[in-house]
Structure 1
Amino acid sequence: MMKKVVLAGGTGFIGKYLEKQFTLQKYEVIIISRQPQHITWSDTMGIKAAVNNAELVINLAGKSVDCRYNEKNKQEIFDSRTETTRILGKAIESVPNPPELWINSSTATIYRHAEDRPMTEATGDIGDGFSVEVAKAWEKSFFDFNLLQTRQVALRIAIVLGKDGGVMTPFKNLVTFGLGGFQGPGTQMFSWIHIEDVYRIMLFIRDRKDLQGVFNCSAPNPITNKQYMAQMREKMNRKIGLPSPRWMLEIGAVIIRTETELILKSRWVIPERLEKEGYQFKYPKIDEALADILS
């Protein structure tokens, strides 16, 4: 019988990559999304049938945070994460053959702005502000379920770097047009992870039946924004990159309808649990990751 994986919210940048990889591994891939060609979030029976007999369920659902934080968008960002998590949990609770593993995405943004020390799962300080409240509610809606037959893992995912989309597109555009200098002070930490490591971490957790709880999903060598942009320029053969001071970012964010927090928050996150458990990163350093992505 073909192994089955359910990708909830599987139509975004990470979801498309996972769909491709799991298909290559001869999995039956079932997608739940708002798009009519997939199982939709209102299809309770369809979702139950999907999670029943699945080997694993991966939930990536959530409205993009790359928008202005007005009240309407904030509510959608919040509900699109907590409600979809509750729908999945109730479905898993109700089926005779629940999945062995449920991975729910969370975010490394749950930690505070950190320029003084790295944040681990054990010693990281939870921050404050809207995006942190979303992350806390997201994890609570996940761990409120106490599933006897299903391991639960929340991945606090850092900024994901990959070839086809995500943050690489705007960063590449900045460098191409000569604006690839540092943003804001440039000292803010940039925690990142190659998309292939996201997939491999999921397989690692799948195979390690003793693992559950919260994991930081980030490369072990975070860098500053200044170092990151320098690496981008080097790999793209651009000698000059004008920096973007904070005031310029504020104006630009309004024009392109996003928030400066996405660039200016210092995310200094270390994957302590994964490293302790023996996970070997394929791309531990930014130069290797960018060499692959920009090749």
Structure 2
Amino acid sequence: MEPPLMILAGGTGFLGRHIRHYFTQSGYRIRTLSRCATSADELAWDGRTLGPWAAALEGAAVVLNLAGRSVDCRYTATNRYTITRSRTDSTRVLGDAIAACRNPPALWLNSSTATIYQHTEDEQPANTEATGHLGRTFSEMVAQQWEAEFNLACVPHTRRVALRTAIVLGADGGALPVMARLARLGLSTQQGNGRQWVSWLHIQDFCRAVEFLVAHPALEGAFNLCAPEPLPNAALMALLDAHYRPHWHLPQPRWLLEIGAFVLRTETELILKSRKVVPQRLLEAGFRFQFPSCEAALADLLPQLP
């Protein structure tokens, strides 16, 4: 009997590497859609147009789309356009490919982001899938356009799940190695006023949550992929400080962060936006987190960093 097939778009990044390893260990065959295909299990695509790669979707168990240009940049007009189109174009063309299949994939998982919800102040309730307030800033509107493209696809025989993913913490990629490196240098102080909420997820729980959604065919629609215990930025930085115990502490007021973001060609929104999100639908479906608290996640991950 042939192993189930997963088609993975955007599989060369931090999340994609872990998904490939996790699902390969679980018995899946993984074929990756890549702009630079170099092996038999990689299929060349440009993320915009149909091509020979589309035939590989016939009979697939899962299509997982993680494609999208990094948001770690300045939000210039050109970058805004590229960020948006890299998400909507890849989603649209995957929908076209699935719609053309005679034996369409059983499940299509498409990336979204927990940034879809508006900035949430201190005492406001956390955003759930049912009660969350969608925002109107650039990044929030990109997320809504992304999901709109996903929902517009005419794929009646394929189950669809949108993954509203928070900041994923891992030892070998994503935000954590950068945060840890800065904490060692004394930048383990609160960023801005420190009251902005941080929603996060251990990389292992990201993979486990995807597996859970694959295994439960009644689940569809949007799911928040985040740990059940968001925490304020000041509390997160205190955990890093307690681990690294730097010899000095450098303050990080908003004005200094703005200068740093300009120099590094990024945006302060990535650290100053308050993301207070909880995974209500996952919890109601019976998913149990291996790392529900950030303290437990960091205790597992920080010793693995070089």
2:15 aligned partner:
14
| Deviates most, 17-26 or 121-130 | 17-26
Question: Residue 6 of structure 1: CA displacement?
Answer: 1.0
Question: Residue 36 of structure 1: CA displacement?
Answer: 3.6
2:60 aligns with one of 28, 41, 54 = 54
Question: Residue 54 of structure 1: CA displacement?
Answer: 1.2
What SS class does the counterpart of residue 267 from structure 1 fall into? Answer: coil
2:214 aligns with one of 201, 206, 216 = 206
Question: Residue 240 of structure 1: CA displacement?
Answer: 4.6
2:244 and 2:24 mapped to 1: Cα distance?
Answer: 32
2:295 and 2:119 mapped to 1: Cα distance?
Answer: 24
2:106 aligned partner:
100
Aligned residue identity for 2:112: S
1:243 and 1:150 mapped to 2: Cα distance?
Answer: 50
1:75 aligned partner:
81
Question: Residue 52 of structure 1: CA displacement?
Answer: 1.2
1:141 and 1:159 mapped to 2: Cα distance?
Answer: 23
Decide whether the 8 Å contact of 1:41 with 1:84 is kept in 2: no
Q: Given the two structures, how large is their TM-score scaled by the length of structure 2?
A: 0.93
Question: Residue 62 of structure 1: CA displacement?
Answer: 0.2
1:239 and 1:152 mapped to 2: Cα distance?
Answer: 50
Decide whether the 8 Å contact of 1:47 with 1:91 is kept in 2: no
| Deviates most, 109-118 or 25-34 | 25-34
Instruction: Give yes or no for the alignment of 1:39 onto 2:43.
Output: yes
1:46 and 1:287 mapped to 2: Cα distance?
Answer: 46
| Deviates most, 261-270 or 36-45 | 36-45
2:291 and 2:11 mapped to 1: Cα distance?
Answer: 23
The unaligned stretches of length 5 or more in structure 2 are: none
Q: 1:175-194 counterparts in 2 under 5 A?
A: 175-194=183-202
Decide whether the 8 Å contact of 2:95 with 2:154 is kept in 1: no
1:248 aligned partner:
256
| Deviates most, 112-121 or 18-27 | 18-27
Can you list the C-alpha shifts for 1:199-242, whole angstroms capped at 9, x where unaligned?
11111111111010011111000000000011112223447532
1:162 and 1:169 mapped to 2: Cα distance?
Answer: 8
What SS class does the counterpart of residue 83 from structure 1 fall into? Answer: helix
1:34 and 1:241 mapped to 2: Cα distance?
Answer: 43
1:262 aligned partner:
270
Q: 1:97-176 counterparts in 2 under 5 A?
A: 97-115=103-121, 116-176=124-184
Can you list the C-alpha shifts for 1:139-188, whole angstroms capped at 9, x where unaligned?
00000014222100001101110110100121011111111111011000
What SS class does the counterpart of residue 189 from structure 2 fall into? Answer: coil
1:124 and 1:160 mapped to 2: Cα distance?
Answer: 20
1:236 and 1:146 mapped to 2: Cα distance?
Answer: 51
1:210 and 1:130 mapped to 2: Cα distance?
Answer: 33
1:167 and 1:50 mapped to 2: Cα distance?
Answer: 33
1:160 and 1:214 mapped to 2: Cα distance?
Answer: 18
Question: Residue 98 of structure 1: CA displacement?
Answer: 1.3
> What's the % identity of the aligned pairs?
47
1:152 and 1:60 mapped to 2: Cα distance?
Answer: 14
Can you list the C-alpha shifts for 1:79-98, whole angstroms capped at 9, x where unaligned?
00000001111111111221
The unaligned stretches of length 5 or more in structure 1 are: none
1:274 and 1:134 mapped to 2: Cα distance?
Answer: 24
1:88 aligned partner:
94
